[in-house]
Amino acid sequence: MSSSSWPALPRLVIAGCGGDAGKTLTTLGLAAAFRRRGKRVQAFKKGPDYIDAAWLTLASGTPARNLDTYLMGFDAVRESFLRQSREADCSLVEGNRGLYDGSDAAGTHSTAELAKLLQAPVILVLDVTKTTRTAAALVLGCKLLDPDVRLAGVILNRTAGSRHQRVARQAIEEACGIPVVGALPRWETADLPGRHLGLVTPREHPDPEALGARLAQFLEEHVDLDRLWAIAGEAGPLEHPAPAALPAAPSGEPVPLAWFDDSAFSFYYPDNLEALQAAGARLIPVNSLSDTSLPAVQGLYIGGGFPETHAARLAANAPLLRAVREAAGDGLPIYAECGGLIYLSRSLAWQDRTHALAGVFPLDLAMFDRPQGHGYMEVRVESPNPWFPAGRRLKGHEFHYTRVAAAGGEVPTLYAVERGSGCFPGRDGLRFKNTLASYLHLHALGVPEWAANFVALARAAAR
């Protein structure tokens, strides 16, 4: 495959030495602060996380994209980054976990690997709680472990005062030769609350816009934004493969496709929605909490989210549950991921209550205090079906606290789980007529036939 150089794109990767280092707060604040200066910011989230990406969308004012080399592959990650960044003044990539933490001891699929792929300077957010010179040892280790990672600056987090900041800054700059470009005091975490899957979503926060403004002000007061902007501008041209030819535009009338879009179901990659539209779909949002019927559509997409925290309201909306159950029985193509699988089950038990749901699948699910599946998944398609060819391997991820407590009969499955937990031991991909439900979250750039097959099935099923 031929390659070429893209003109310089100002860019930064915001990394940490582990989880809870302050990467999200810092990246959100930087995006909002640069935006307040009139800059066009394109934000990215390394890894599959939906919630951080939703907050980055709010802070930057532009749909944030996920970059995941496991889900998407290296070429697709780089192409997506270039495509989304070309109109931006600066691109910010929020890392996940520690800088070098990946899927194995070599750091495969780590933030460091992504930074090298994008040839981007790295800013390390460092929690310096009750430490000073030891912080320099951590920074020096990150610098020396892989010289190809360009560690360009450090932001101290959770500092205790001016003396603490001064000593830690001096130790790092003298021992490591890396500038400290900011020092953040402790932030009131109640402003950015979390729960079992991470942060609350912007839709559920009482005042997300005000929070974004406070974060922008916080970063403006404690970080050298001009220095960071200059570091971002030092990133050189980015080598990239020639883009693959785009598929031909579909012929015929657009296919009306519903999707649940509300506070219970909000886990959708923008790339997935855009892939459906490119394949010929006309997306029609449905509110699972308040709409009582499905519009006249030829398919339904139910993504993930927090159906468990909205279970009482979902169960109370019996007309929509019945409409979905009847549509599935009539052969309407339905694709459901994780939260969507929960919605299509018979019931969900949580916090001493059991909520009746759509009942497309005769499954009773239970919610637990610990994850029942968390991490990357790989499945092998075993049975012929309209969605994927038999033998196809699909990569995705799962993060769920539910599992099957009881099944009222055998449920056909399409997937053999080769990595991850899935729905049953070694199995996932529940099928009923033209409905496919799974704990597996797919990314359309990693499984490019998904959208085209979904729309083709919807078009054919309506004939």
Instruction: Report, as residue numbers or ranges, the catalytic residues.
Output: 338
Dig out the tokens for 319 from the structure.
Answer: 């007309």
Q: 3-state SS of the chain?
A: CCEEEECCCCEEEEEEECCCCCHHHHHHHHHHHHHHCCCCEEEEEECCCHHHHHHHHHHHCCCCEEECHHHHCHHHHHHHHHHHHCCCCEEEEECCCECCCCCCCCCCCCHHHHHHHHCCCEEEEEECCCCCHHHHHHHHHHHHHCCCCCEEEEEEEEECCHHHHHHHHHHHHHHHCCCEEEEEECCCHHHCCEECCEECCHHHCCCHHHHHHHHHHHHHHHECHHHHHHHHHCCCCEEEECCCCCCCCCCCCCEEEEEECCCCEEECCHHHHHHHHHCCEEEEEECCCCCCCCCCCCCEEECEECCCCCHHHHHHCHHHHHHHHHHHHCCCCEEEECHHHHHHCCEEEECCEEEECCCCCCEEEEECCCCCEEEEEEEEECCCCCCCCCCCEEEEEEEECEEEEEECCCCCEEEEEEECCCCECCEEEEEECCEEEECCECCCCCCCHHHHHHHHHHHHHCC
